[in-house]
Amino acid sequence: MAALFRKSSADSQGCQWEPQWSEIYPHIPKPDAPDADKTEAEEYLATVGIQCSKLAMNPTSCHGCPDNPAGKEKQDAQEHDKRLIEDHGYELQLTQRLYTASRLGLLTDWNLTEEEFQNLAVFQAEVQKRSRG
């Protein structure tokens, strides 16, 4: 979810979105990797407490990401973001609506599916992070 929130490119020391990037990047499969590798990566990422919502949504998202400190991909950042919005636009729109409803006191946690709750938590964390500076 926070993958759609963009800042400037990361420096060569690590990813601006994921403090553990240098430790986890070797475990990130390429997009064309077998499903078993992707599942294994998802399970691994779930154990390390990642902060990057791009990785939370897709365990291969470092590859092709304009913020990837490895710099191996030369994909244009706007095209990458456009694809993310196309792929996850519905989830983003729904989560924005859920966030607004929660701020208005119209939701309680038992009104949400697990997926909605997780997306809302990521979205809210990103909003709070941005409000702090």
Alpha-carbon gap, residue 63 to 72, rounded angstroms: 8
User: 22-27: which pairs have CB atoms within 8 A and are 24 or more residues apart?
Assistant: 23/48, 24/48, 24/50, 24/55, 25/62, 25/70
pLDDT, tens digit (0-9, with 9 covering 90-100), for 86-124:
888 888 888 888 888 888 888 776 778 888 888 888 888
Asked if residue 12 has pLDDT above 80, the reply is: no
Are 30 and 84 in contact, with CB atoms under 8 Å apart?
Answer: no
Short-list 41, 52, 42, CA closest to 3: 52
Lowest mean pLDDT among 7-16, 49-58, 65-74, 85-94: 7-16
- Between 67 and 13, the higher pLDDT residue: 67
Confidence of residue 75 (pLDDT cuts 50, 70, 90): low
Mean pLDDT for 14-27 is: 88
pLDDT, tens digit (0-9, with 9 covering 90-100), for 118-128:
888 888 888 88
